Every structure is written in structure tokens, then in C-alpha cells.
Amino acid sequence: MAIKLVAVDMDDTLLDGTLQVSTRTCEAIGKAQEQGVVVTIATGRMFTSALPFAKQLNMQAPLIIYNGGMVRCPISKEMVLHKTIEADVAGKVVELFRQRGWYLQSYINDELYVAERSEKVIYYEKFANIKAVVAGAEFYSMKHEPTKFLALAEPHEIQQIQKIVNAEFSGEVFAATSKATFLELTHPSVNKGHALAVLAEKLNIKREEVMAIGDSNNDYPMIEYAGFGVAMGNASDRVKGIAQAVTAHNNAHGVAEAIEKYVLRQA
């Protein structure tokens, strides 16, 4: 069955090691769109951070952002889906991180909030090309109803934080790694697979006509949902294990290769 919708993760998938989209990938996406295929981004990033890339690639369809916590049109800014973590649960998450001395950032109404300016904040601002709001001590007392929380730590610390969060908030949050140093916390019903299903239904596209491309554990649900799941060459073994195909590394035009091979109609 022909592919009509392609959902592409951003970091370590669409973007290369310099956080850019290669010329070959831009051209492949453009050709797919010319053939009537819908191509969208499916990322853990916030709307503001994903939007410049959507514009660069002339994407018209709603974007899947915040790991599926939000689906939003890049042009009209219309909200197709928005699911936040409940305020009482969010408050308990913030308190746990405060007690443990773990770093946490909160995304509310597409604004990034942090407790204080630190090396982690500076790194993330540069990485995502956004500016954080420094709330100071109020960060721990303010009312959070975030679309997402993000924890940043060393890989072994992230694994430990994930175990504790899953034990403390089972059924109350969904925690998934997007990078070895990133742990993303969302509402328990939120994931890229569910959001992709919502978008496909809105566009009247069958599951069998959907292709998803990704590399990390937060991409697992959408690759599992898609009729044709593609793992990047640099993907985790877990993601490769459920994909129908494995493409090249993100520094070797893996997204372009997948679109050229499985989506574009040959003249």
C-alpha cells in the first residue's frame, strides 16, 4: 500500500550532528510533498523549537510535538490535541525532584520554565534555540500543569531517575528517554504513537498508509503504530527490533534514504 503520511522524529533522525537538515533530506521531503504525501515532524521538542524546521521544509500538516502531548498546525496555530499533566501530579513530581536535587524543566503554554540559570539551561537553550523563563524559588511553588517535564542528567543517572519516577508515578505520568541524557515526562496517555493515530484519522489516512521514522525509545510507540516503521542506523536496538526497515545513520542522510526508497514514486 502506498505511503500517504510520513512522521519524522527530529533529533538524531531528521537533524544531523550539527542540528541541521541536509540538502538531500530537504529535497527528498520536498519531492514527497510534491507527490501529495503528507510529511510532518514528530518530536519531543516544544512548538516554538520545532516550527523553524517545519517552515524550512514547507510542512503544512499539524506537527506532533511534546512527544505527542500536543498536535498543532504550523500555519494557523490551530490545536488538534493538547494533553497536560494534571496539576496535583505535577506538583508531586516537582517536589520529588526538589527533594532529590535533580534538575527539572517545565513546559507550560509553550514556555520553558526553570528554577535557576545553570549550565544545563544554557546547553538546552542553545540546543533547542529557545530562551528559558527563570522562575527562581517560585518554580517549586508555582502551579504546574505542564505539557511536559524534562530531566537532564548523565545516562546512568537518567536510568535511575526513570526507575524511581516509574515507581512513584505509575499510571500518572509516562516517562521515556529521547536521548541518553534526556528523560521526558508527559501525561500517561501521551505518546507519539497515539498522536500519530489522531493525526492520521484527522487526515483520513489508514494506519497501513503511515510511515514513521525514528531512533529513540520515545519513538517506539509511533514506529509500533505505523504501518511501516523505519529505524535509523543510529537507533536503539529496541527500536530496530520492531521496525520493518533500518535506514542509514542521521549523519548519512538516513531520512532521505528511507523516503527515496519507500515513498517516492519512480518516474
Q: What is the pLDDT of residues 159-188, one digit of tens each?
A: 999 999 999 999 999 999 989 999 999 999
Quickly tell me which residue has 517536589 as its cell: 95
Q: What's the CATH code of the domain at 117?
A: 3.30.1240.10
In a domain, 267, yes or no: no
How much is the pLDDT for 265?
A: 76
159 and 214: one domain?
Answer: no
Q: Which residues of the chain have pLDDT under 70?
A: 266-267
179 and 232: one domain?
Answer: no
Do 112 and 133 form a contact (C-beta atoms < 8 A)? yes
Q: Which domain covers residue 177, as residue numbers?
A: 87-186
245 and 117: one domain?
Answer: no
206 and 252: one domain?
Answer: yes
93 and 159: one domain?
Answer: yes
Domain boundary at 140, 158, 186, which?
A: 186
Domain boundary at 186, 213, 235, which?
A: 186
Do 96 and 87 form a contact (C-beta atoms < 8 A)? no
223 and 102: one domain?
Answer: no
In a domain, 115, yes or no: yes
163 and 93: one domain?
Answer: yes
Q: What's the CATH code of the domain at 221?
A: 3.40.50.1000
Sheet holding 63-65, edge to edge: 63-65, 70-72, 79-82
Catalytic residues: 9
How much is the pLDDT for 266?
A: 57
In a domain, 77, yes or no: yes
Counting other chains too, the contacts that 31-34 makes at CB distance below 8 Å and 24 or more residues apart are 31/259, 31/264, 32/6, 32/259, 32/263, 32/264, 33/58, 33/59
How much is the pLDDT for 89?
A: 96
- What is the pTM assigned to this prediction? 0.92
Do 257 and 247 form a contact (C-beta atoms < 8 A)? yes
How much is the pLDDT for 167?
A: 96
202 and 178: one domain?
Answer: no
Alpha-carbon gap, residue 112 to 252, rounded angstroms: 32
53 and 103: one domain?
Answer: no
- Rg over alpha carbons for the chain, rounded to the nearest Å, is 18
The contacts of residue 112 (CB under 8 Å, 6+ apart) are 46, 105, 106, 124, 128, 130, 131, 132, 133
216 and 176: one domain?
Answer: no
The contacts of residue 76 (CB under 8 Å, 6+ apart) are none
Alpha-carbon gap, residue 122 to 16, rounded angstroms: 21
49 and 73: one domain?
Answer: yes
Structural domains counted in the chain: 2
95 and 171: one domain?
Answer: yes
In a domain, 173, yes or no: yes
For CA atoms 225, 230, 235, 236, the dihedral sign is positive
Domain boundary at 130, 158, 186, which?
A: 186
Quickly tell me which residue has 538516513 as its cell: 254
pLDDT digit string, tens, across residues 6-20:
999 999 999 999 999
Alpha-carbon gap, residue 64 to 34, rounded angstroms: 21
